[in-house]
């Protein structure tokens, strides 16, 4: 599932003739994924998209700081977070791999 976040900020555009003040609405689409790293080498070996990501459900488990309410940081998949994703059908080989919940911006 692609999540949309909206940001608003004024942008001052200067032209030789006049000054324009515009408020631009910027839409940013975010895709959630698991970044999978080899446990020994810590090299990225896979990226697994999360098609039906529920931000609110995951926020109940992670309890993010006030600075990361939309979970833009990466979070290691362990404990209750691992159990949650396993309950919705994901499998993790934590003996050989490290898994992180990450996101990236989709450019249109």
Q: What is the pLDDT of residues 55-71, one digit of tens each?
A: 999 999 998 888 888 89
Domain of 99, in residue numbers: 30-106
Q: What CATH number has the domain bearing residue 100?
A: 3.10.50.20
Contact (CB, 8 A) for 53 and 34: no
The answer to the question of residue 5 being in a domain is: no
Give 34's contacts (C-beta < 8 A, 6+ positions apart).
46, 47, 48, 50, 77, 90, 99, 100, 101, 102
CA distance 44 to 9: 35
Interval 75-97: pLDDT, tens:
999 999 999 999 999 999 999 99
Residue 88 CB coordination number (10 Å): 11
Q: Indicate whether this model's pTM tops 0.85.
A: no
CA distance 104 to 40: 25
Number of structural domains, the chain? 1
């Amino acid at each position: 599932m692609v999540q949309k976040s909206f940001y608003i900020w004024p942008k001052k555009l200067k032209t030789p003739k006049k000054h324009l003040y515009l408020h631009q609405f910027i839409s940013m689409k975010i895709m959630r994924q698991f970044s999978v790293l080899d446990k020994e080498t810590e090299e990225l070996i896979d990226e697994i998209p999360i098609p039906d990501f529920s931000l609110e459900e995951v926020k109940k488990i992670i309890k993010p700081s006030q600075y990361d309410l939309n979970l833009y940081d990466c979070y290691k998949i362990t404990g209750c977070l691992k159990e949650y994703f396993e309950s919705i059908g994901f499998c993790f080989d934590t003996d050989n791999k490290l898994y992180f919940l990450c996101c990236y911006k989709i450019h249109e």
